[in-house]
Every structure is written in structure tokens, then in C-alpha cells.
Amino acid sequence: MRLLSYMGQWKSAAKEVLDRTAIVAKFLCLLHVTNNYLCSPTLVYGPSMLPTLNLTGDVVLAEHVSHRIGKVGTGDVVLVRSPVDPRRILTKRVVGMEGDTVSFYVDPMYSQTTVVPKGHVWIQGDNTYASSDSRHFGSVPYGLIQGKVFFRVWPPDGFGTLEQ
């Protein structure tokens, strides 16, 4: 008899655990969809976007709508999956779209000009002295763009839209 009552209690406890897990799972699902398709806070760090973004790390809001509808253009700061290491995501500025002619300095004396091919973009860090970007690995396919940065949340004195 006791065994039956224990089993009954255990069953109801298990059901409650399952219900709560389902709620948490649905919430994580929704959070994930929002992060990937609408807007997500991202920690970006490194010297390649000084002075726009800090060296030690900024929390920025990136929206993931524009690149899917083709609204990324010159001057935008974008999150791009690295063509050299597919597990890293870079933060750079789009300097040229497909068809644009881009000039850049390989060393202080010698400048080179290229045309950005179809379906590609040319990205550069604002801090050209400490940035590994399209000047090193060439034009990047548009399909590697993950999102567009439009707002900075942290640190508090940098709160607001990014300067051009």
C-alpha cells in the first residue's frame, strides 16, 4: 500500500518537473529565436575598431533583420563570420559593396586598387594599424554577414548609437 502511495507522489512530482522544464524550454526557444532573428546583445572586444569601439570590450545591440533583406550598405558596422576561422565572428565596418572600387595601402608607400566582386563586401576595421580585415584576406561573401550593430549598451558613458 505504501509503495502505491509513494509511486503516486513520485508520478505527480515528475509531472510537475516536466511541466516546469517545458516552460523553461519554451522560454529558451523564444529567447534564441529573438537573438538570432531580431536583436541580440553581443560583447565585442579587440583593438581593430578603435576609437569607435573600446579595446577591453563593449556590449552592443546587433540586429539580424537587415542583412536578410539586403539592407546592409557602406558605412555600417557589421558582425561577420571570419573567412579564415569559421568559429570566430569579427566586428568590422563595410567600406565597399559589390561593384565598388576600393583603394587601400599595403604599406605606406604602395597603394592597391580592387573591385569588389558580385555577392561580396569589403570590410575594414576603423583602426587600420591593428586590424586584420579585407586588406589581408580579400573580399568577404555577403552570406557571411551575421548582423548589423546599431547601438551600444555598455559602458554607460558610451550609451547610444555609434558615431560614423
**Applying CB under 8 A, does 136 fall inside the site for its own copies?**
no
Residue 110 and residue 164 in contact, taking contact as beta carbons nearer than 8 Å: no
**Applying CB under 8 A, does 26 fall inside the site for its own copies?**
yes
**Enzyme catalytic residues:** 48, 92
Smallest gap from residue 70 Cβ to its own copies (A) = 8
Q: Which of 64, 120, 135, 152 binds its own copies (CB under 8 A)?
A: 120
Smallest gap from residue 98 Cβ to its own copies (A) = 9
Q: Which of 57, 99, 141, 155 binds its own copies (CB under 8 A)?
A: 141
Smallest gap from residue 31 Cβ to its own copies (A) = 10
- Judged by CB under 8 A, the chain residues 28 through 57 that form the site for its own copies are 29-30, 32-33
Which C-beta is closer to its own copies: that of 81 or that of 104? 81
Which C-beta is closer to its own copies: that of 54 or that of 146? 146
Residue 79 and residue 58 in contact, taking contact as beta carbons nearer than 8 Å: no
Smallest gap from residue 33 Cβ to its own copies (A) = 6
Q: What is the DSSP string of the chain?
A: -HHHHHHHHHHHHHHHHHHHHHHHHHHHHHHHHHHHHTEEEEEE-SSTTTTTS-SS-EEEEEESSGGGTT---TT-EEEEE-SS-TT-EEEEEEEE-TT-EEEEEEETTEEEEEEPPTTEEEEE-SSGGG--SHHHH--EEGGGEEEEEEEEEESGGG-BPPP-
Cα angle 131, 135, 138; round to 5: 125
Which C-beta is closer to its own copies: that of 104 or that of 142? 142
Binding site for its own copies (CB under 8 A): 26, 29-30, 32-33, 81-86, 117-120, 140-144
